Amino acid sequence: MLNYIIFIIVLLIIAIVLERWLKKKLKIDKSKWSFYKGVNPFQRWTEMAMIIAFLISIWFVDNPTSWLIGYFLISLSFRAFMEWKYKREEKEYILTLCSMFIYLFVLVIGFYLI
């Protein structure tokens, strides 16, 4: 169990370092390192509705682990699409997609190797 925890911590540290490196490489403004703000009100409301729907529906599913992974996949894909569509020149969608794959990998490893 301790090896597993160390493995997950190492993966998370690698993910954080890779995300910071991508921000530097893509020249994403450092002020955007704080709390995420959507590109428009439609995105903010849609993401909030997805969170509420996920929290309500989690009570009715047999396997909440796969539901959580699916939620992250849908949510971050939607966020990357909105960033690509409305703020393409800032290249944040690339960072969102890379982060999505890294954190989904960590979630899958974390939930299915316990």
Average pLDDT (17-33) is: 78
Q: For residues 8 and 47, which has the higher predicted lDDT (pLDDT)?
A: 47
Tell me the pLDDT band of 26, cut-offs 50, 70 and 90.
Answer: confident
Q: For residues 30 and 6, which has the higher predicted lDDT (pLDDT)?
A: 6
Single-letter amino acid code for the residue at 92: E
Residues 41-95 have pLDDT tens digits of 999 999 999 999 999 998 888 888 888 888 989 999 999 999 999 988 888 899 8
Query: What angle do the packed helices 92-112 and 64-86 form, to 10 degrees?
Result: 170
What is the Cα–Cα distance from 112 to 38, expressed in whole angstroms?
A: 31
